[in-house]
Amino acid sequence: MSTLGDDELSLVLKWVHDQNDRKSFSQVCQQWLRVEGLSRFSIRIIELDLIPNFIPRFPNLILFETPMFISNSHLELVAKTCPNLQVININLRKTREEFDKVDGNSGFEDVGSDGICALANGCRNLSKVLLRKRKNVGNVAVISLVKFLQNLTTLDLGRCNLVDDQAVEAIGCSNSIRILNLEACSLVTDRGLAVLATGYISKTLKKLVLAECDRITDYGVSMLKHICCLEELNLAECGPKITDPGGVAVSSVSSLRKLNLAWLINLSDVTVIAIAENCVNLAAIDLTACELVTGVGVRAFGNRECLEYLVLASCYNICKDDLNVVLICRSLRDIVLNKGLRMWIPMAMQVNFSKFCQLHWR
């Protein structure tokens, strides 16, 4: 086996997919250890203290992932060592408070602008950047990402509390981003949405998450109708400033396939009927806790040919007679209803509904 060169060993490794087997392969000798590192394209790291020791083994990584806190210096090392990265997923899986309780890292400095800027400058092939819950990531980091990453298609900034309209304005200048998550970026206002709707990104954006952005109003939401190819929009829990004028404006986005309007308590049947009439490609809609919505709005979906998923949890003005939409809308696959309604629907009726779609209670 010692006569095998690096190229031959690399060909062998292409057939080894199990991570434990790859680990065993790397433990045979120094040559096999080196070749395994050179042929590794993805890695998920939990013990970040070991990064300086082993990351130089993997210069050809395409995907880097860690759900833990990571320092600027560690990310700078990753950027320097792995210039071919295409995907970086450093979404935090737990809150800072949860980490503190588990391992006492209350003084750990999480990544911020310096680390993200180094990443943007050193890894120009990045197309997918996931930074959810990174509390130190702000405008400077986002501006750097948009400036240097010409192939960026997915950007997740969910719960990055320092991100505001300045960062969103920079994002609006991108002509490549297709998926943008701004969930709980509470500093984002109508000003930022206006740039998204009129900038270069309006020609490419297909999925936009604005859940819990509670500073936006009907004006900002109305601007979203200018995003010409938007297929998925999440406005859940954006607050009472979004009312029917904003909802009706959203209905003019005819390309929509998924729409989340959960907990928008000031939306009524006016919005729902407009969506049912205009969003002909809509496959899923979530109306959880839209308390002003009644059976009049729900029945408007009866003749839809594409609707597959309908959520009416905590919609207290819906009665069992309104659920005939299930029988009429034959494309419907799943419907979520308020659990308090269950006792009022005869079992025979529930069984009949289940022949056409799955009933879920919440």
Burial of 96 (0-12, 13-18, 19+ CB in 10 A): middle
Mapping DSSP to helix (H, G, I), strand (E, B) and coil, where does residue 288 land? coil
Spatial separation of the C-alpha atoms in residues 172 and 200, rounded to whole Å: 6
Q: What is the reported pLDDT for 1?
A: 47
CA dist 47 and 353 (Å) reads 50
pLDDT (0 to 100) of residue 180: 98
Tokens 């002909």 correspond to: 280
CA distance 309 to 317: 19
Q: What pLDDT score was predicted for residue 28?
A: 62
Q: What is the pLDDT of residue 165?
A: 98
Q: Give me the torsion for CA of 28, 33, 34, 40, rounded to 10°.
A: 130
The answer to whether the CB of 205 falls within 8 A of the CB of 196 is yes
Question: What's the burial of 197, exposed, middle or buried (CB within 10 Å: 0-12/13-18/19+)?
Answer: buried
Return the SS3 of 360. Answer: strand
Q: Does the predicted model carry a pTM greater than 0.85? A: yes
215: its two tokens: 């500073």
pLDDT for 199-242, tens place per residue?
Answer: 999 999 999 999 999 999 999 999 999 999 999 999 999 999 99
Q: Please answer whether residues 306 and 283 qualify as being in contact, where contact means their C-beta atoms are separated by less than 8 angstroms.
A: yes
Give the chain's residues under pLDDT 70.
Answer: 1-17, 19-39, 94-108, 326
pLDDT given at position 149 = 97
What DSSP state is assigned to residue 138?
-
How far apart are alpha carbons 249 and 221 in whole angstroms? 7
The three-class DSSP label of residue 62 is coil
> Sign of dihedral through CA atoms 340, 344, 346, 351?
negative
* Model pLDDT, residue 38: 65
The DSSP bridge pattern shows strands 284-286 and 258-260 to be parallel
Amino acid letter for position 54: F
CA distance 110 to 72: 7
pLDDT tens profile 173-182 = 999 999 999 9
Element (H, E) at 44: strand 42-44
So what's the pLDDT on residue 102? 45
Query: Cα 116–122–124 angle (5° rounding)?
Result: 95
In this structure, are residues 275 and 285 in contact, taking their beta carbons and an 8 Å threshold? yes
Q: How many angstroms separate the Cα of 189 from the Cα of each of 62, 196, 223, 230, 238?
A: 35, 11, 12, 19, 11
Instruction: Please tell me the distance from the alpha carbon of residue 236 to that of residue 224, in angstroms, as a whole number.
Output: 15
The SS3 call for residue 196 is helix
